Structure 1
Amino acid sequence: MRRLGIGELARQVRMRPSALRYYESVGLLPPAGRVAGRRVYPAGTVRRIALIKMAQRAGFTLAEIRQLLDADADRGTTRQWRALAERKLPELDRFIQETRALRNAVADCLACGCMNFDSCGLLSSGTVEDA
Structure 2
Amino acid sequence: MEELSIGEVARRTGVPASALRYYEDAGLLPAPRRVSGRRRYDAEVLRRVQVLRCAQQAGFTLAEIRTLFHGFGAQTPLGERWRSLANAKLRELDALIARAGQMKQAILAGMECGCVRMEDCILVPPE
In the superposition, the TM-score normalised over structure 1's length comes to 0.67
- Aligned equivalents of 2:50 and 2:97: distance in 1? 23
* 1:74 maps onto 2:85 in alignment: no
- Give me the whole-angstrom Cα distance separating, in 2, the residues matched to 1:75 and 1:9: 27
Determine the structure 2 residue equivalent to 1:51: 51
Q: Equivalent residue for 1:65? A: 65
Query: Match for residue 86 of structure 2?
Result: 85
Kept after mapping to 2: 8 A contact 1:58/1:92: no
When Rg is computed on C-alpha atoms for both structures, the one with the higher figure is 2
Structure-2 residue corresponding to 1:124: 111
Aligned-pair distance for 1:83? 2.7
Structure 2 portions without partners, runs of 5+:
114-127
Q: Deviations over 1:50-73 (max 9, x none)?
A: 100111111111111111111466
Identity %: 46
- How far apart are the structure 2 equivalents of 1:57 and 1:95? 16
Gaps of 5+ in 1: 106-121, 127-131
- TM-score (normalised: structure 2): 0.69
Q: Which runs of 4+ in 1 moved over 6 A?
A: none
1:11 corresponds to: 11
Provide the secondary structure at the position in 2 that maps to 1:29: coil
State the aligned residue count.
107
Which residue of the partner structure matches residue 41 of structure 1?
A: 41
**Alignment RMSD, CA only?**
2.8
Contact 2:72-2:81 at 8 Å conserved across structures: no
